[in-house]
Amino acid sequence: MIIYINDKACKAEKGDQLLDVAKRNNCHIGYICGGSGICQSCFVYVEEGMEHLSAATSVEKAFISDKLAESGGRLACQTRITGEGQIRVLSRAEHLRRVVVGLNVRDFITYAQTIGYNVTNQLPSGAGNIVDRVREGKLNPVQSLQNIASGIGPAATLAGSTVLDNFAFLQGPASMISGGAKGVFDAASDTLCRISGGQLHLPGATCRTHGGGEPELERVQITAKVVR
């Protein structure tokens, strides 16, 4: 079956964890603790298909507020596919990226308030859940630390490649080596072009879309005034 993570088609099977599906398909969902359920880095929004997923675990209930749960919030390391059907998932990082790139101030404020509320209200229950699992032998602290150590490298690599794919101007150092300062300027203009839907470009720069002879729709003239 096919499910969609950040709008990317991913092969999955009944019984799979969402986090494992993301790993196999090289699709970005954060993971640091290796599925121990102690870091919340694999938090996702289920946009469609909650009925085809397992019920929220005690770990999720401890870490995710009712407000976030109502918005489709789940932990990918705790959520399994229980049936076939349309499933669409959005990672927290992708959700925030879309808010920022879309320059949606209202959604950004709402997002910040919701996350702040979750941290403030769920920290005690989350910490208590970890302690209880350690006492019950359901969570091995040593193994959890080993999972974190083994997960940081791949997670950082995946996050880095995702950032560079979406924000080309961060490829500046590589561009400077291959094309000088103009390469950085062109990369920034390319990002501005994508964000604005082809409407905006930096003066004197090109982008991948309009660098091949296709005329751009509009240019922006930037001037600076020195105040003494």
pLDDT per residue as tens digits for the range 123-161: 778 878 888 888 888 888 777 666 666 655 555 555 555
Q: Which amino acid is at 29?
A: I
Q: Which amino acid is at 192?
A: L
Number of domains composing the chain: 2
Question: Residue 58 is part of which domain span?
Answer: 2-166
Identify the domain boundary among 116, 140, 166.
166
With the C-alpha atoms ordered 121, 116, 71, 13, is the resulting torsion angle positive or negative? negative
Q: For residues 195 and 92, state if they share a domain.
A: no
Identify the domain boundary among 150, 166, 182.
166
Q: Report d(CA 94, CA 74) in Å as an integer.
A: 15
Q: For residues 70 and 99, state if they share a domain.
A: yes
Put simply, whether the predicted model's pTM sits higher than 0.85 gets the answer: no
Q: For residues 65 and 123, state if they share a domain.
A: yes
Q: Report d(CA 108, CA 127) in Å as an integer.
A: 27
Q: What is the pLDDT of residue 19?
A: 93
Q: Which amino acid is at 164?
A: L
**Spatial CA neighbour of 205 closest among 224, 187, 180, 179:** 187
Q: What are the angstrom distances between the C-alpha of 128 and each of 8, 59, 69, 146, 148?
A: 36, 10, 19, 21, 20
Q: What is the pLDDT of residue 109?
A: 67
Q: For 108, list phi and psi in degrees, rounded to 5.
A: -65, -40
Identify the domain boundary among 112, 134, 166.
166
Q: For residues 150 and 176, state if they share a domain.
A: no
Q: For residues 159 and 172, state if they share a domain.
A: no
Q: What is the pLDDT of residue 65?
A: 87
State both tokens at 25.
Answer: 């398909």
Q: For residues 94 and 142, state if they share a domain.
A: yes
Cβ neighbours of 191 (radius 10 Å): 19
Q: For residues 196 and 85, state if they share a domain.
A: no
DSSP H helical ranges for the chain: 18-24, 58-63, 66-70, 92-101, 105-135, 141-166, 172-195
Distance of CA 125 to the CA centre of its chain: 25
Q: What is the pLDDT of residue 141?
A: 76
The ranges of the chain with pLDDT < 70 are 102-120, 144-185, 188-189, 191-192, 195-197, 199-204, 211-228
The residues near 125 (Cβ < 8 Å, ≥ 6 apart) are 62, 63
